[in-house]
Amino acid sequence: MLFAASCSPSSNTLNVTIESYITAVSLNDTVKILAASAPYQRELMSAATPEAEAALTKRYRDIIEGGYMSWESSKYKGEIAPDPLGVALIRAIGLGKEGAASLPMGIRFEPGNRRAIVTARAITNYDSIRWASVPTGGRMYLLGYPFGKVVNFATGYDDPSQLKLLATVDVEWTLVTIEGLRRPADAPSDWYIDRVEALPATATSWSPPASAKP
């Protein structure tokens, strides 16, 4: 009799799932966000009627919209608030289409290989901004240091060299498989995003040089 050895899933599969989720958030693609969301998919499996499914989908769409609105309000409140699906966090850092990058740092699997914790370093790339040539009269909303602060910067008037901005912060992604779930058409894999959380203690800072002042 042959016994199959238990082996960990491909790290590439997990990283692709994360990147797909980031892209979906950056593009406001609600369908793909929900397809990869573990909380939504678990609740959807329990929905007994089409009406229950529709109500659940509407509730989660409202949660997603609330994440985007949370980031917009953070620009004026001066601090970022976490949201259940990580939408505000992804938008605030600028992952996806805003120029930030996510660098995988490590993966650990819990016993049974049905839950994985992926640590990735989010890099804001604020140092790539051409500070000396930013047009006067605009506003830039950037993450500050320590993590959680949002900087409201008046271009052409405020001195950028006085800013203390977020350079990097580690983000912990929890991914799970869901027993009995048939993969949705828009899901990138059989792994689903269960939780997205920044680790504030890992944050590093950066300030534009004095020569960046217009």
Of 66, 23, 58, give the one whose Cα is nearest residue 193.
23
| Position 2 in a domain | no
How far CA 99 is from CA of 47, 67, 191, in Å, comes to: 39, 20, 26
| Position 1 in a domain | no
64-81: b or e for each residue (b if 16 or more CB lie within 10 Å)? beebeebbeebbeeeebe
Per-residue pLDDT tens digits for 37-60: 999 999 999 999 999 999 999 999
| Position 4 in a domain | no
| Position 129 in a domain | yes
| 71 CB-side CA count, 13 A | 21
47's tokens: 């929905």
Residue 7 and residue 20 in contact, taking contact as beta carbons nearer than 8 Å:
no
**Containing structural domain, residue 49:** 11-212
Task: Tell me how far apart the alpha carbons of residues 84 and 19 are, in angstroms, rounded to a whole number.
Answer: 18
| Position 186 in a domain | yes
Residue 83 and residue 69 in contact, taking contact as beta carbons nearer than 8 Å:
no
pLDDT band of residue 6 (cuts 50, 70, 90) is very low
Residue 4 has pLDDT above 50, yes or no: no
Residue 203 identity (one-letter amino acid): A
| Position 76 in a domain | yes
Q: Is the pTM of this model over 0.95?
A: no
Structural domain count, the chain: 1
- Cα angle 34, 198, 159 (rounded to 5 degrees) comes to 115
What would the mean pLDDT of 79-105 be, rounded to a whole number? 93
